[in-house]
């Protein structure tokens, strides 16, 4: 895993000092080595976390007698097959790294090679003769890449938002629509960022920039990946899931450094750990964290799963578990800095602790991310289907009237969850309803504390076309929520600990299969991820496949009333208005009082405001 950056600026060509400064901001992403490259007004920077071919694979890597240069972040898991193919056509290799394989493929095929890559990546490929720069990211958006292109021709990109901000000419005007999205969803969906003119590469996209003309074109290479509905039996589909996922785990266990597995109390990580144990040639290292609060602690389930898998592992299993104190308020400013732009999924806290704990023992870890979106793991899919059916014969005003009869106690209470469900029934349009479901509070609350954002709230949005509602929702989550929230969190928290995390469920073959299967194979009779649980029933502890999903939550609502109470008030009432200028201090104080007096749960919006308070107006 690495960090990459580059900038093209004829008015202020990047010098050695700037490129070294860019490397310095990416040191956690690549603590083992760094390198820079300059060609006139273009500069490239790279920091390396050595995982494959520790002695070779230094970057920037050059080819074609210096004509081509590559800086690359990620892993290509089928690089050995691709290397063999290239050798048969006459190519010779100096290293054993996947970087050199990618470089030679790009020299031969350009962006056309991207659908052939099995892995996750963000890279920049420079052709010094044609004066073109190609940047791209992987199909699911596992690896981030921020960039900007100015009307005057300047262009820059970086793995980290803060790194990009150092490039001369980087736009610094706040995007109000993006800020409204952040407060609603707790992250900013691609391609937008908190700054106008700065974008995130969307999953499965590339950008080609011509240095001499200053022009740029976008390439939707992900559109070349077609998904055709499968007409297979359920039994055959189970066997295909077993085979492809087993292969995906095996591919992701290739490393020249110590490797382990994240293990929670749930289904997804247990499947990955079971397959990793099968393929491991040594005792498998598994990592879990626990909490003092029993409502959020899964350590007992983790221990039970680890004990079961140890009996199946040919070489045994070492389970490492650590109880953490995630209510570390001082960690929040650090994480806000690591994310660079506003982000407020509170599960970042346990995610960082888990990554840091695993990094004490290994350099690479496998995780179960992506399974919920591919195999229907979220309860919200069934809730949306139920709302669609009920809404067909129940007018919206009746839903609103019923919701008004219930107290506004926050969604964590039973009455609060029911009130939210009724409010959703009053929303017209599937896309708007799903956005309302993904928002943890009414848009009016945002408009109350930040009146300037009102025009950007409640925007109507369509969902991807699909034959069935739940298939459409899963596809939407794959394109929007997974890369914007889940994978952003995993990337930032793991890289802050210099740990590489690999996601077997996002293997292209697994992903294509899962998306091609009928919804009833995934969600059936109230059971979510049905095919995943039944395909691996022999490897899993009894009852695990139907265990209630907990997620990686933390009791933020309680902390805001106790251990974080005073520091929260200081950050929001003194820091937030001063740093951002657009928030109504009195409205924020009312929001705080509603929550801290215990009458209403405003924790989601308060946490979003808290993380925002740690970043300046030009975040």
- Note the pLDDT tens digit of each residue in 230-268: 789 999 999 999 999 999 999 999 999 999 999 998 899
pLDDT, the chain, mean? 92
Q: What is the pTM of this model?
A: 0.94
Asked if residue 154 and residue 252 are part of one domain, the reply reads no
Asked if residue 202 and residue 172 are part of one domain, the reply reads yes
Asked if residue 164 and residue 34 are part of one domain, the reply reads yes
Residue-wise pLDDT for 30-69, tens only, equals 898 999 999 999 999 999 988 887 778 889 999 999 999 9
- What percent of the chain has a predicted confidence (pLDDT) above 90? 74
Residue-wise pLDDT for 118-160, tens only, equals 999 999 999 999 999 999 999 999 999 999 999 999 999 999 9
Contact 261, 273 (CB under 8 A): yes
Residue found by looking up tokens 């007096």 in the block: 597
Sheet of strand 119-127: strand arrangement: 61-63, 68-76, 119-127, 132-137, 206-210, 216-219
Asked if residue 173 and residue 241 are part of one domain, the reply reads no
Asked if residue 108 and residue 25 are part of one domain, the reply reads yes
- Tell whether 212 is covered by a domain: yes
- Tell whether 70 is covered by a domain: yes
- Tell whether 580 is covered by a domain: no
Contact 198, 164 (CB under 8 A): yes
Residue found by looking up tokens 């095929």 in the block: 109
Contact 176, 98 (CB under 8 A): no
339 — alpha (psi -120 to 50), left (phi > 0) or beta? Answer: alpha
> Lowest-pLDDT range, 194-198, 274-278, 549-553?
549-553
Residues 6+ apart with CB under 8 A from 185: 435, 438, 439, 484, 485
pLDDT-derived band at 394, boundaries 50, 70, 90 = confident
- pLDDT (0 to 100) of residue 412: 57
CATH number for the domain including 262?
3.40.50.620
pLDDT-derived band at 545, boundaries 50, 70, 90 = low
User: What is the C-alpha separation between 92 and 83, in angstroms, rounded?
Assistant: 9
Residue-wise pLDDT for 501-540, tens only, equals 999 999 999 999 999 999 999 999 888 999 999 999 999 9
Is the pLDDT at 567 greater than 90? The verdict is yes
pLDDT-derived band at 618, boundaries 50, 70, 90 = very low
Residues 6+ apart with CB under 8 A from 484: 185, 187, 188, 189, 190
Asked if residue 277 and residue 244 are part of one domain, the reply reads yes
- Tell whether 606 is covered by a domain: no
- pLDDT (0 to 100) of residue 617: 46
Over the range 76-115, which residues count as b (16 or more CB within 10 Å of their CB) and which as e? bbbbeebbeebeeeeeeeebbbbbbbbbbbbbeebbebbe
Reduced to 3 states (helix: H, G, I; strand: E, B; else coil), residue 218 is strand
Sign of the C-alpha dihedral computed for residues 164, 169, 174 and 177 taken in this order:
negative
Give the E-state strand segments of 391-549 in sequence order.
Answer: 500-502
Helix orientation angle between 430-438 and 414-425, rounded to the nearest 10 degrees: 160
Residue-wise pLDDT for 428-439, tens only, equals 888 989 998 998
Phi, psi of 103, rounded to the nearest 5 degrees: -60, -45
Asked if residue 129 and residue 45 are part of one domain, the reply reads yes
Identify the CA nearest to 29 among candidates 527, 494, 550, 520.
494
- pLDDT (0 to 100) of residue 550: 63
Task: Give the domain range for residue 178.
Answer: 2-224
Contact 69, 50 (CB under 8 A): no
Sign of the C-alpha dihedral computed for residues 485, 384, 510 and 512 taken in this order:
negative
C-alpha to C-alpha distances, 168 to 6, 8, 136, 252, 616, nearest whole angstrom? 11, 9, 22, 38, 19
Domain boundary among 490, 513, 546: 546
C-alpha to C-alpha distances, 613 to 67, 267, 572, nearest whole angstrom? 46, 36, 7
417, 423, 429, 433: CA torsion to nearest 10: -30
451, two tokens: 């009146």
Asked if residue 240 and residue 218 are part of one domain, the reply reads no
Q: Total structural domains in the chain?
A: 2
């Amino acid at each position: 895993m690495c960090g990459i950056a580059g900038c093209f600026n004829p008015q202020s060509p990047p010098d050695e000092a700037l490129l070294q400064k860019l490397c310095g901001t990416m040191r956690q992403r690549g603590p083992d080595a760094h390198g820079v490259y300059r060609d006139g007004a273009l500069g490239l920077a790279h920091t390396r976390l050595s995982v494959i071919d520790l002695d070779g694979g230094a970057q920037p890597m050059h080819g074609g007698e210096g004509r081509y240069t590559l800086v690359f972040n990620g892993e290509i898991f089928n690089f050995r097959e691709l290397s063999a193919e290239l050798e048969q056509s006459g190519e010779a290799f100096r290293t054993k790294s996947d970087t050199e394989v990618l470089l030679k493929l790009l020299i031969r095929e350009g962006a056309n090679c991207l659908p052939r890559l099995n892995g996750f990546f963000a890279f920049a490929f420079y052709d010094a003769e044609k004066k073109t720069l190609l940047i791209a990211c992987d199909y699911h958006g596992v690896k981030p890449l921020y960039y900007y292109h100015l009307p005057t021709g300047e262009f820059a990109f970086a793995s980290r938002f803060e790194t990009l901000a150092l490039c001369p000419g980087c736009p610094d005007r706040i995007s109000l629509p993006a800020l409204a999205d952040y407060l609603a969803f707790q992250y900013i969906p691609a391609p937008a960022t908190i700054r106008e003119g700065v974008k995130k590469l969307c999953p499965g996209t590339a950008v080609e920039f011509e240095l001499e003309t200053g022009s740029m074109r976008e390439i939707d290479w992900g559109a070349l990946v077609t998904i055709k509905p499968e007409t297979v039996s359920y039994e055959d589909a189970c066997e295909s899931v077993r085979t492809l996922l087993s292969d995906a785990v095996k591919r992701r266990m290739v490393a020249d450094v110590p490797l382990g597995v994240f293990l929670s109390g749930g289904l997804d990580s247990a499947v990955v750990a079971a397959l990793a144990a099968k393929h491991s040639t040594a005792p498998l290292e598994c990592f879990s964290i626990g909490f003092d609060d029993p409502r959020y602690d899964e350590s007992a389930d983790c221990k039970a799963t680890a004990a079961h898998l140890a009996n199946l592992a040919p070489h045994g299993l070492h389970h490492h578990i650590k109880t953490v104190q995630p209510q570390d308020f001082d960690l929040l400013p650090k994480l806000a800095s690591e994310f660079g732009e506003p982000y407020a999924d509170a599960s970042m806290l346990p995610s960082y602790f888990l990554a840091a704990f695993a990094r004490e023992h290994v350099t690479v870890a496998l995780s179960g991310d992506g399974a919920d979106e591919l195999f229907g793991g979220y309860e919200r899919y069934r809730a949306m289907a139920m709302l669609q059916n009920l809404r067909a014969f129940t007018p919206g005003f009746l839903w609103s009237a019923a919701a008004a009869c219930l107290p506004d106690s926050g969604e964590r209470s039973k009455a609060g969850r029911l009130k939210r469900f009724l409010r959703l029934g009053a929303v017209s349009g599937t896309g708007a309803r799903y956005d309302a479901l993904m928002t943890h509070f009414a848009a009016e609350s945002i408009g109350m504390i930040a009146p300037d954002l009102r025009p950007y709230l409640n925007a109507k949005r369509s969902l991807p076309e699909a034959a069935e509602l739940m298939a459409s929702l899963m596809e939407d989550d794959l394109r929007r929520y997974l890369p914007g929230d889940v994978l952003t969190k995993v990337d930032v928290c793991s890289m802050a600990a210099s740990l590489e995390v690999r996601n077997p469920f996002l293997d292209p073959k697994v992903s294509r299969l899962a998306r091609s299967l009928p919804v009833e194979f995934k969600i059936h009779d109230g059971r979510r991820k049905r095919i995943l649980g039944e395909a691996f029933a022999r490897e899993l502890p009894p009852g695990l496949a139907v265990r209630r999903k907990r997620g990686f939550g933390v009791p933020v609502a309680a902390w805001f009333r106790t251990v974080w109470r005073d520091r929260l008030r200081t950050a929001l009432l003194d820091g937030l208005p001063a740093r951002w200028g657009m928030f109504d201090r009195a409205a924020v104080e009312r929001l705080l009082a509603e929550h801290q007096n215990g009458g209403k749960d405003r924790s989601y919006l308060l946490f979003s405001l808290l993380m925002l308070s740690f970043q300046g107006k030009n975040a």
